[in-house]
Amino acid sequence: MDRVDGSNTVRTDNLFYKLFQLAPSLAFELLDLPAPPVPYQFQSVELKEFGFRLDGLLLPETDDANLPFIVVEAQMQPDARFYYRLQNELATYLLQYQPVHPWRVLVLYPNRHTEREIPEMMAYLTYWRVQRVYLNELPAQQSLGMELLRLIVAPPEQAIAIGQAIIAQEQERWLEWVVEALVRKFPGQGGRRMMEALGLAPLQQTRFYQEVFQEGAQAGEARGRQAEAVALVLRLLHRKVGSLSPEQIQQIQSLSLEQLEALGEALLDFCSMADLDSWLAQNTV
pLDDT in tens, 113-134: 999 999 888 888 888 999 999 9
Tens of pLDDT along 53-98? 777 899 999 989 999 999 999 999 999 999 999 999 999 999 999 9
In this prediction, residues 185-200 reach a mean pLDDT of 74
Residue 142's pLDDT band, with cuts at 50, 70 and 90, is confident
Strand order in the sheet with 69-74: 40-47, 52-60, 69-74, 103-109, 130-134
The yes-or-no verdict on residue 26 having pLDDT over 90 is yes
Residue 109's pLDDT band, with cuts at 50, 70 and 90, is very high
How many CB atoms are closer than 10 A to CB 244?
16
Burial class (CB in 10 A: 0-12, 13-18, 19+), 11: middle
Domains present along the chain, CATH in parentheses: 3-153 (3.40.1350.10), 155-195 (no CATH), 203-283 (no CATH)
Determine if the pTM surpasses 0.75: no
**How far is Cα 144 from Cα 22, in angstroms, rounded to an integer?**
12
pLDDT of residue 33: 93
pLDDT of residue 217: 43
